[in-house]
Amino acid sequence: MEEKRSDIMVKSCEFSGLKKVDPKDNPFGLRPEQLGDKPYNAVDITLVIVNRSQDEKQINLYTISKPDVPNSAQTSWGQNYTIGAQEEKTIRYTIPMFCMSASDYKDYTGPIRYLVRILGSEGPVPDEKGERRFFEKTKYFDVPAEEPPDELEDKFIDLEECLSGLEKTSVLQDVHIEGNPCRAIESLTAKLFNFGANTQYLGIDVAAFTDRGCYQTQFFYELRPGEELPVDLGKMITGHPTRHLRIRLVIMPKYIFNSPRARGEFLWRSYKEEKYGTLVSKLDYYFG
């Protein structure tokens, strides 16, 4: 059987050593909650790619970056490039390494083995089946600990023990929708009330399902004992005709609440999987 040949060839692929990136620089176009507020590790990559054909080519470089641990969340993205006929093109970009994923809910500082995988395929979209693939590279990086091991032990928190001590003493009430949802929601407001003796750390996920898709956003609140707090939940969903409005209120430990990346994923997994028993309110409204 004749071997399939691509007109695109990677002449060289070089990785830099580990470096620190400030989240304020954000060279990846990621959201602030994905980046957090602490410097993180990254590596630079330099690819030299040659187009051996007589035609201009479109290529996609799909990059996966993840801690090499089971069930870990990954950062992945695709980048498109045009390479002219008989052109040799040098491509440079930076790969972020966020250490332990947010799903582990702790500020882990290493050591950890990190996996970086790059898939190159012809065309403007990633090639999941490998039929248009011209390049595949997997490389592992050992991210060192940033503190001595004996100082790290105190940072590990038993999630189950932490969750078992949570009190569900907050309620979401007085939900008020203005406008005709079938045409457009004009505003969405409510009140949070904590009737307990301890401060509550809360996340609210709001999603509006329309004929054209879903508009979704998250809100986070620290609620003191006895506090009643008016909340505006209309961000992202106002102005859109809505068939189904979904609101989920979740309670979380303080140390998860204080991590911008961890709390978003914790909120999502809490209501999606009902995994942690932290769901406080489930509200669904259906229109027209």
Interval 175-197 mean pLDDT = 93
Is 2 among the domain residues? no
Highest mean pLDDT among 119-128, 194-203, 251-260: 194-203
Four-point Cα dihedral 112, 113, 119, 124, nearest 10: 0
Burial of 149 (0-12, 13-18, 19+ CB in 10 A): exposed
pLDDT at residue 240, as a whole number = 82
Higher pLDDT, 13 or 107: 13
Q: What is the rounded CA–CA span in Å between residue 96 and residue 27?
A: 9
Report field, pTM of the whole predicted structure over 0.75 = no
Q: Find out whether 117 and 63 touch, Cβ atoms under 8 Å.
A: yes
pLDDT tens digit sequence for 124-134: 888 877 888 99
Residues 15 and 151 in one domain: yes
Residues 41 and 23 in one domain: yes
Residues 35 and 142 in one domain: yes
54: region left, alpha or beta (phi > 0 left; psi from -120 to 50 alpha):
alpha
Residues 55 and 188 in one domain: no
The answer on pLDDT for 73 being more than 80 is: no
Residues 18 and 149 in one domain: yes
**Domain span at 216:** 159-286
Average per-residue pLDDT for the chain: 84
Q: Find out whether 279 and 249 touch, Cβ atoms under 8 Å.
A: yes
pLDDT at residue 50, as a whole number = 95
* Domain endpoint, select from 134, 155, 176: 155
Residues 102 and 186 in one domain: no
Higher pLDDT, 239 or 53: 53
Domains held by the chain: number: 2
**Backbone phi and psi for residue 60, each to the nearest 5 degrees, phi listed first:** -125, 130
Residues 116 and 199 in one domain: no
Q: Which CATH number do you get for residue 260?
A: 2.60.40.10
The answer on pLDDT for 176 being more than 90 is: yes
Residues 28 and 128 in one domain: yes
CA atoms within 13 A on the CB side of 27: 15
